Amino acid sequence: MRIFRAVATAGLVVLTLMPASVQAQNRSIFVVGGYGTTTFEANASNVYRNDFGASVSPVILYTMGRDVVFETELEFGMNGANTTTTLEYAQIDYLGFERVQLIAGKFLVPFGVFGERIHPSWINKLPTGPVVYGHAHGGVAETGLLPVLSDAGVMMRWAQPFSGKLRLDFSAYVTQGPQLGGEDDHDEEEGAGLEDPMPFSALEDGPAPAVAFGTGFGDNNNTKMVGARLGLLSGGSAGIYVSGFTGKYDEEDDLSFTAGGLSVEWRVAGLELRGEGVLTRQKFMDEVEATTETLNRSGFYLQGSKRLDRFEPVVRWGMLADGTVDGTTTIEGYNEVALGLNFWMRPTIPLKIAYEFHEGLDDRMYVQWAYGF
Amino acid sequence: MRQAIPLMLAATLVAVAPDSLFAQAPDPVLLGEGATVYADFCASCHNARASSERTDLEWVAIVLHMRARANLTKREAAAVLTFLQATNLPEGSASAAGRLDRDEVDPTRTVIPAELRSILSENAINGAAGSPSPAPTKLGDGR
């Protein structure tokens, strides 16, 4: 009994004297963050045709030691009388290596830069996304070429710094991949009287069927999507990325969807310039001719902003080129220009106003208040 | 009773020993690197957040999350964490100079103790992406 008491006492003393950092090494940490958004959108020709919208995206982090973290983001938004719920990502990251990361789960696919890093409302400098990336709802790009991509699979990341400020930023992934998109049941989101601002809807006007990403856990075919992104960065002032992925979206493994992208960014003295170009090639079955055709689409956006103390003017030009099948235009191209002015109440709380010119359609006005927490 | 005294004493020591009692001073080289990474990579996507927004422990989890998002190396993440924790305010700090409520923090500036400002780039201080960035000096340079 004496020996037991002596050992117990010695153990407690050792525990007390153990450096706090060693104790903290093994402590799991739970953190809640995220962002919220409220947006007012109006038809510039008739401001009485307008909508209020709101959403909140909580981010939950849970660490297991210092090399493993579980992270997830949900998005709750408005949809008529209902509330939409989207799992943006739910992933486990192994960060035990110096330059390599291993990630599994549902994650934001590293295609381009906007989807993975810039789309949160408290980071995006305009109330809307660029024309090439439609808002992700059910994983179908109701507008644009691609949604903000989120899919389930595994990913490996590698960072290689060089002398000076040069570094390579590489990511490669295998995910479920694209599937045939479902019917559009989200018309209510547009609200009273506001039509879709874009002339093209993958579900209505295109010759090829809609393709969805990250819509469910089951893969509908034997082919996974594979992709990668390679970036060359110079510190935080400049970067260029090349991205690409390919996968099959039909159950018979016959029809492929392939995308490629180029992203550039440059920052100096409060001025930021960024741009992305995207190409997509989608094979589809022409039911009339009973042949396999390819829909080719492309688009880009360029954005510039300048920080002036708490104010920040922003301008963005986006264009979708004509969609073609065998050189024949099947989808008309489209241009839009957005002018915005942000007031940063805090580093993570922007108040944004913007005016968007939409080619061939009514212009739009936006007021958005975003809160990163 | 006499036999229980050592156990009671040890238990009391465990209960009252603060984490800061044995806290180590931040590695000055890592601190300088962290300021650079904070200004270059964190600020390349979003405005710099005041380190006083979160506790030191919360920053551990957040930096891991950001390491995955920004594809930082392990050392770069450790450096940013060192910087955030070094520039964070101690919890419960009541001094007039040291205590800043979140609402009082200048939203355009990272909370940085005066003695560290000389080693940090303007990007880190201004909290604005792309602000003019003179090369940061590191502690120990003698400047």
Question: Which range (A4-18, A20-34, A191-205) has the least confidence?
Answer: A191-205
- pLDDT for A286 equals 85
Local structure of A216: helix, strand or coil:
coil
A267 near B CB under 8 A: yes
Interface mutation vs chain B, best among A7, A18, A25, A29, most B CBs within 10 Å: A29
Residue closest to A359 by CA, chosen among A318, A331, A313: A318
Enter the tokens of residue B16: 């009252």
For chain A, what percent of residues have pLDDT higher than 90?
Answer: 60
Alpha-helix runs per DSSP H in chain A: 2-17, 20-25
pLDDT in tens, A114-137: 999 999 999 999 999 999 997 544
Binary contact (B65, A71; C-beta < 8 A): yes
Binary contact (A16, B50; C-beta < 8 A): no
Interface mutation vs chain A, best among B5, B73, B100, most A CBs within 10 Å: B73
pLDDT in tens, B16-64: 544 444 456 778 888 888 988 888 888 888 888 888 889 999 999 999 9
A-to-B residue pairs, Cβ atoms closer than 8 angstroms: 157
Task: Say which DSSP state A194 is in.
Answer: P
pLDDT in tens, B66-101: 999 999 999 999 999 999 998 887 654 443 333 334
Binary contact (B22, A59; C-beta < 8 A): no
Is A83's pLDDT higher than 80? Answer: yes
Binary contact (A95, B3; C-beta < 8 A): no
Helices vs. strands in chain B: H and E counts, helices first = 7, 0
Q: Name, in order, each residue with C-beta under 8 angstroms of A80's C-beta and a sequence gap of 6 or more.
A: A188, A189
Which residues, numbered 179 to 238 in chain A, qualify as contacts with chain B under a Cβ-Cβ cut-off of 8 Å?
235-237
A306 near B CB under 8 A: no
- pLDDT for B115 equals 45
B73 near A CB under 8 A: yes
Work out the pLDDT band at A212, boundaries 50, 70, 90. Answer: confident
Q: How far apart are CA A282 and CA A178, in angstroms?
A: 11
Question: pTM for this one?
Answer: 0.80
- pLDDT for A245 equals 98
- pLDDT for B63 equals 95
Q: How many CB atoms lie within 10 A of CB A299?
A: 23
- pLDDT for B67 equals 96
Contact A218, A241 (CB under 8 A): no
Work out the pLDDT band at A43, boundaries 50, 70, 90. Answer: confident
Q: How far apart are CA A211 and CA A228, in angstroms?
A: 20
ipTM of the complex as predicted: 0.84
